[in-house]
Amino acid sequence: MTIDLYPTLLDLAGTKPLQSVVDGVSLAPLLRQGVKPDRADLFWHYPHYHPGGATPYSAIRSGDLRLVHFYEDGRDELYDLSADVGETKDLAAAQPDQAKALRARLDVWLKSVDAQLPVPNPAHDAAADGAQGRKNAKAKAKK
């Protein structure tokens, strides 16, 4: 993950960080000796919208499993990346205990890093959003 770049570059340069807390781990041992990092889980937090279509979500990857929590509707999706690298088969309904356990770990991590959670925008105009979306689609179709 990109959070590993800073500690890796520091390690390779033989220097210490300028701050006391550094997210990520050094991948220098992996690059030098092929030693995998001692990290059980990876976490993502994306609490905003992106013009490309991404909506607010958080995720955890633990081993081959990846759970994604979507803030708009509160749903969780669970994927087994060893069998489904493209994340096409949501296993949350078939493996509710696994989904619940990963969601609990994700929630603990979010709290531990004091993650800013998305909140509704009281000034949001859904009708204007729809009109702008239709306008953008028409402009794209003309190209």
40-126: in CATH 3.30.1120.10: yes
pLDDT of amino acid 124: 79
Beta bridge mates, 61: 42, 66
* Sequence spans of domains, the chain: 1-39, 40-126
Q: pLDDT tens, 48-87?
A: 988 888 899 999 999 999 999 999 999 999 999 999 999 9
Question: Cα Rg for the chain, rounded, in angstroms?
Answer: 19
Q: What is the DSSP string of 1-28?
A: -GGGHHHHHHHHHT---SSS---S---H
Q: Report which DSSP code applies to 36.
A: P
Total Cβ atoms within 10 A of residue 100: 13
